[in-house]
Chain A
Amino acid sequence: MVGLATVFGAGGGTSSYEEVEHTDLILLWGSNARAAHPIFFHHVLKGIRAGARLIVVDPRRTESAAFADLWLGIDVGTDVALSNTIAREIIHADLHDTTFIARATDGFDAYAASVEPWTLDRGAAVTGVPASVIREVAHAYAKADRAMICWTLGITEHHNAVDNVLALINLGLLTGHVGRYGSGLNPLRGQNNVQGGGDMGAIPNKLTGFQDIERDHEARARFERAWGRPIMPRYGWHLTAMFEAMERGELTAVYCIGENPVSSEADATRARKLLENLDTLIVQDIFMTKTAEIADVVLPAANSAFESEGTVTNSERRVQRVRKALDPPGNARDDIWILAQLARRLGWDWGDVTAYDAWEEVRSLSPMHRGMSWRRLEELGGIQWPCPDEDHPGTQFLHARLWAEDPAERGPRAPFSVVVDEPPVDELTEEYPIRLTTGRRLDSYNTGVQTGAYTSPLRRPEAIELSPHDAAELGVVEGERVLVSSRRGEVVAPVHISAALRPGLAFMTMHFPDEVETNRLTIDATDPKSGTAEFKATAIRIDRLETAPGDGLARAGR
């Protein structure tokens, strides 16, 4: 969100799902959408059937890669190198869109100079992708009439997350693959309201509707008038900065709503310790999570999808209505009700505030949501922002202004960003020679508190997935329990041998913290701009627990 907001001023994917069906090339970068966004992938499949090429960039040969024309199995954390190499090849082959660059972008010369050292051979050496394949991708992307780049956590769960996103945006600017129907830059959101959280201002530097707290004085004044309170004109902390502030003793009280950081944070041991040391920890959740277990106060909440009224925003910026199907159990209460009661105890009576009231306030304060009445959201099945007035149909794709003939209409130029290749923080050494990356499985979600409740025939226990080559080198067999250690912690996990992995690459999920606490291994090196932790790149070693050869074989009963 930070990367897109930096370049274009709006932190949202630029295209609609429908456009994926009508594009010519889909570059899925750091995304296993087939498993993590299955219904988005249905649109990708329609695109493929209509003739689009699918190119997948992923260290693992995923379920998504199985549908691809080309799979680029890059080494973890070399995305900037790959992007820069592609860019240099496009420029050298004279395939960049010089008219678009001249009219709508800024900083091309510096960018072109910065990618100049990235020859195909150097790119191949750093990324592990053959030079001929990088060349083919560069030419295919640049020559496509319409092309999309879609990404997820494979791009953003790195210490240089924002640079990774900027590197992809650069490619869009270089070729003019943004701001047109079927051409765009799209982060697929991992959780049902990640986009909506950002829209509503649940990020440290923006008010509702991506209005800057420090710089947009007019917007801040509008909020101050509506709320009758001054708003501090300075940015807050993102999650990672909060943990740092806890470490410094500056942050002593946390009110945590619908998040389970004890299980989901990288370097879980540290996260738990910091939360335990707080003066006050309040947790509002639908479950007694591990974080709730160490809280001073637990406020049982209603489920936001099935027991509440309100809205969420999806990955194509569509604001959609959620509706109450059930009463919450026991003493669980709607989030808005809890917040209003808390406000009342703090001496501020909001009255009997409903989700509708809250939405009307959003509309009154956020210009990009102004045209979205609940009646219209119902009638149109959701509306894509921006939607400034009630006659506006919503916006199918963003940044069409960049193509306007009239310079005034074209507005501010979109800047290229010089991005430097930085390897993952957790270095591979002789002691920790294997690269562990993480991801989702189709039938599970995050730390498993929701998906653990249904019986999935696909579910298998957490495991350390190894390439056939590494398993043979280590002399371990399927199902054998091994010790997995990183510089921060160790866990015991059974081995699962996966042909999707290349030598030197291992894979685990976060879905079963009760079985294997994967985040004891991960590193909390974070991106300074977005605060995202580097879940995707941990250096580990594997040690056998039993030394007798064939022991594991015997135990597995084979």
Chain B
Amino acid sequence: MSVPVPLAPPRRLVEVTVDGRPVRVPEGSTILDACRALAIDTPTLCYAPNLTPVNACRVCVVEITGARTLVPACSRPVEAGMEIATDTERVRHSRRLVMELLGSSVDLSLAGEDWERWTRAYGADPERFGARMDPLPAGERDRRRAGHHHEPEDPTVAESVAQPVTIDNELYVRDYARCVLCYRCVEACGEDAQHTFAIAVAGRGFDARISTEFAVPLDESACVYCGNCIGVCPTGALMAKREHDLRREGSWDESRQRITTTICPYCGVGCELEVHVQDDEIVKVTSPADHDITRGHLCIKGRFGFAYVGRRDERSASRRDRADPAP
């Protein structure tokens, strides 16, 4: 080909050691990349491969020789000669404490098998801060003012974010009792993908929460229901309503689900869809984070517009029943 295609400049390899083992990774790689190159199982929660790291959860921290503080592996680039330790007492203690604090205040039961494994591996005991607080009434946390700290009513009870699920539309629910404030939804709604900026973190400290502007209901916000926030949520706090309903009635069963990859039937962009089918019904649609057209993100039609597939008999029937006013 006579016309050059500008490629990214070639990257040198940088050698570092992780837990004493040498590894060479391309410059610009993160410590997490280096750990994964050595198959070192590193817990992450706020990190997602299709989003910019925000260093919110601190569960991936590692120790670097010569550094005063622990550093987040998911965002810190490697430097030549860096000596990284992932299994020191300081690292283990810090990771365990993060898991315990999150586990005591947030419902992490849908955070996935990896999270469960890490919690066991680090011996995290979220119960040690006391019994779980009763859920707050709906809207209570949204009303709290930034900076107005309150004393716990009962010091034997662990403060928590437990509250009822917000169900205000037919497409997705917001279960903030499961929210770890990882910022992934904010990033996906904002600069990393959708650029809609319907949500942000409001409040400070323990009262921080994900909110629309002035906590208005979703349908008055800028939300365009692309569901890219659901796509990146690691804990099930944001969930398609269909999945939520099936889980509530106890019929959601991933072991009976089959995932098929196909192409979205709507516009001509060619977004790859992962179609989750349970009992001959499409129960969820996602897109792979490593697909270079979508990078895991979809629009409202691609993510939610599949209801027609299973409803053809019903719709045809209703069409026949309805008198057509046209001549």
Interface residues of A (CB under 8 A from B): 17-18, 22, 36-40, 42, 45, 49, 67, 179-182, 188-195, 272, 286-288, 290, 293, 303-307, 312-316, 318, 320-327, 329-330, 332, 381-382, 396, 400-401, 403-406, 409, 442-445, 449-458, 517
Chain B contacts with A in 240-289, Cβ cutoff 8 A: 258, 260-273, 275, 277, 280, 282
Q: Are B191's CB and A181's CB within 8 A?
A: no
B121 sits at the interface (CB 8 A): no
Question: By the criterion CB–CB under 8 Å, are B194 and A456 in contact?
Answer: no
Q: Are B262 and A315 in contact (CB under 8 A)?
A: no
Residue of A nearest to B265 (CB): A305
In angstroms, Cα B215 to Cα A352, docked, is 59
Assess the B270–A443 pair: CB atoms within 8 A: no
- By the criterion CB–CB under 8 Å, are A451 and B301 in contact? yes
- Given A39-B298, A305-B262: A450 and B270 within 8 A (CB)? no
For A287, A400, A443, the residue with the greatest tally of chain B CB atoms inside 10 Å of its CB is A443
Contact status of A303 and B309, CB under 8 A, knowing A42-B193, A190-B268, A288-B316? yes
B36 proximal to A (CB < 8 A)? no
Q: Does B262 lie within 8 Å of A323, measured CB to CB?
A: yes
Known A443-B301, A458-B224: A314·B312 in contact at CB below 8 Å = no
Known contacts A38-B299, A303-B265; 20 additional CB pairs below 8 A are A17-B293, A37-B268, A39-B269, A42-B295, A181-B5, A190-B268, A192-B264, A192-B267, A315-B270, A320-B263, A321-B261, A321-B262, A321-B263, A400-B3, A409-B2, A443-B300, A449-B308, A453-B315, A454-B304, A456-B300
Chain A residues with CB below 8 A from B316, complex form = 287-288
Question: Which residues of B approach A to under 8 Å, CB–CB?
Answer: 1-6, 169-171, 191, 193-195, 218-219, 223-226, 258, 260-273, 275, 277, 280, 282, 291-295, 297-302, 304-313, 315-316, 319-320, 324, 326
Contacts of B268 in A (CB 8 A): 37, 188-195, 314-315
A400 near B2 (CB under 8 angstroms)? yes
Chain B residues contacting A318 (CB-CB under 8 Å) are 270, 293
Query: Which residues does chain B contribute within 8 Å of A443, judged by CB atoms?
Result: 225, 300-301, 305
10 contacts between A and B (CB under 8 A): A38-B226, A39-B294, A181-B5, A286-B312, A287-B308, A321-B262, A323-B262, A382-B270, A400-B3, A453-B307
Whether A323 contacts B261 by the Cβ 8 Å rule is: yes
Min C-beta distance of A51 to chain B, whole Å: 15
What's the nearest-Cβ distance from chain B to residue A125, in Å?
35
Tell me, rounded to whole Å, the shortest Cβ–Cβ distance linking B308 to chain A. 4
User: Most chain-A CB neighbours within 10 Å: which of B193, B267, B324?
Assistant: B267
- The verdict on A396 contacting B260 (CB below 8 Å), with A38-B226, A306-B306, A325-B275 known, is no
Query: How far is it, in angstroms, between the C-alpha of A49 and the C-alpha of B195 when the chains are bound?
Result: 11
Pick from B271, B315, B320: contact of A39, CB under 8 Å? B271
Closest 10 CB pairs of A and B: A189-B268, A314-B270, A453-B308, A305-B265, A325-B260, A38-B299, A288-B316, A455-B170, A454-B307, A325-B275
**Complex Cα gap A403–B3 (Å):** 7
Determine the distance from Cα of A454 to Cα of B169 in the docked complex, in whole angstroms: 12
Q: Once A and B bind, how many residue pairs between them come within 8 Å at the CB atom?
A: 196
Give Cα A315 to B282, complex, Å. Answer: 26
Contacts of A382 in B (CB 8 A): 270
Once the chains bind, are B263 and A305 in contact (CB under 8 Å)? yes
Picked from A304, A306, A320, A458, the residue with its CB within 8 Å of the CB of B272 is: A320
Residue of A nearest to B261 (CB): A323
* CA–CA, A409 and B224, complex, Å: 48
Contacts of B311 in A (CB 8 A): 453
B267: which of A17, A37, A288 is its contact (CB, 8 Å)?
A37
Q: What's the nearest-Cβ distance from chain B to residue A501, in Å?
A: 20
Please name all residues of chain B whose beta carbon is closer than 8 Å to the beta carbon of A39 when the two chains form the complex: 269, 271, 293-294, 297-299, 302
Q: How far is the CB of A420 from chain B (nearest CB, A)?
A: 29
Nearest chain B CB to A304 CB, angstrom units = 7
Question: Once bound together, how far apart are the Cα atoms of A282 and B168, in whole Å?
Answer: 44
A325 and B277 contact, Cβ closer than 8 Å, known pairs A39-B298, A192-B268, A306-B282: yes
**Residues of A contacting B271 with CB < 8 Å?**
39
Give the complex CA separation of A323 and B277 in angstroms.
13
Name the prevailing secondary structure of the B interface residues.
Answer: loop
Q: How far is the CA of A322 from the CA of B270 in the complex (A)?
A: 10
Q: Which residues of A contact B6 (CB under 8 A)?
A: 22, 181-182
Chain B proximity of A502: nearest CB distance (Å) = 24
Q: CA of A293 to CA of B321 in the docked complex: distance in angstroms?
A: 12
* CB-defined contacts of A452 to chain B, threshold 8 Å: 308, 315
Query: Is A381 a contact of B312 with CB atoms below 8 Å?
Result: no
Residues A442 and B299 in contact, CB atoms below 8 Å apart: yes
Q: Which residues of A contact B312 (CB under 8 A)?
A: 286-287, 329, 332
State whether A42 touches B2 (Cβ < 8 A): no
Please determine whether A192 and B263 come into contact, CB atoms closer than 8 angstroms.
Answer: yes
List chain B residues, Cβ under 8 A from A190: 267-268
CB distance from B220 to the nearest CB of A (A): 11
Q: How far is the CB of B165 from chain A (nearest CB, A)?
A: 17
| Docked-complex contact B292 and A42, CB < 8 angstroms | no
The smallest C-beta distance from A192 to any residue of chain B, in angstroms, reads 5
Kindly provide the distance from the CB of B168 to the nearest chain A CB, expressed in whole angstroms. Answer: 8
Tell me the complex Cα distance, A42–B219, Å.
23
Q: Does B3 lie within 8 Å of A179, measured CB to CB?
A: yes
What B residues does A181 contact at CB under 8 A? 3-6
State the Cβ distance, B157 to closest chain A Cβ, in Å: 37
The contact of A404 among B2, B170, B269, by CB within 8 Å, is B2
Is A442 in contact with B300, judged by CB distance below 8 angstroms? yes
A316 to B268, CA, bound (A): 9
Task: For B194, give the chain A residue with the smallest CB separation.
Answer: A42
CA distance A74 to B186 in the complex (A): 36
B260 and A445 form a contact (CB under 8 A): no
Given A405-B2, A458-B224, the answer on whether A306 and B313 have CB atoms closer than 8 Å is no
A263 to B214, CA, bound (A): 42
Question: Known: A306-B282, A455-B171. Is A191-B2 also a contact (CB below 8 A)?
Answer: no
CB distance from B6 to the nearest CB of A (A): 6
Alpha-carbon separation in the docked complex, A307 to B225 (Å): 26
Does B169 contact A457, Cβ atoms closer than 8 Å? yes
CB atoms of A312 and B270 under 8 A apart = yes
Tell me which residues across on chain B come within 8 A of A453, comparing CB atoms. Answer: 305, 307-308, 311, 315
Output the least CB separation between A295 and chain B (Å). Answer: 13
Given A39-B293, A325-B277, the answer on whether A450 and B3 have CB atoms closer than 8 Å is: no
The answer for the CA separation of A98 and B324 in the assembled complex, in Å, is 61
A458 touches B300 (CB 8 A): yes
CB of B297, distance to nearest CB on chain A (Å): 6
- CB A20 to nearest CB in B, in angstroms, measures 11
- The answer to whether A316 and B306 have CB atoms under 8 Å apart is no
Once the chains are docked, how many angstroms separate the CA of A321 from the CA of B272?
A: 9
> Quick one: closest A residue to B274, CB to CB?
A325
Q: Are B307 and A37 in contact (CB under 8 A)?
A: no
Kindly identify which residue among A22, A293, A326 contacts B282, using a CB–CB cutoff of 8 Å. A326
Residues of chain B within 8 A of A315, CB atoms compared: 268-270
Q: In the assembled complex, which residues on chain B have CB atoms less than 8 Å from the CB atom of A517?
A: 326
Pick from A306, A314, A322, A451: contact of B309, CB below 8 A: A306
Cα A406 to Cα B280 with chains together (Å): 58
Between B263, B275, B326, the greatest number of chain A beta carbons within 10 A of the residue's beta carbon is seen for B263
Inter-chain contact B305/A314, CB cutoff 8 Å:
no
Residues of B within 8 A of A305 (CB): 262-265, 273
Which residues of B are found within 8 Å of A272, using beta-carbon distances? 326
Of chain B, the residue at the smallest CB distance from A312 is B263
Complex Cα distance A26/B218, Å? 32
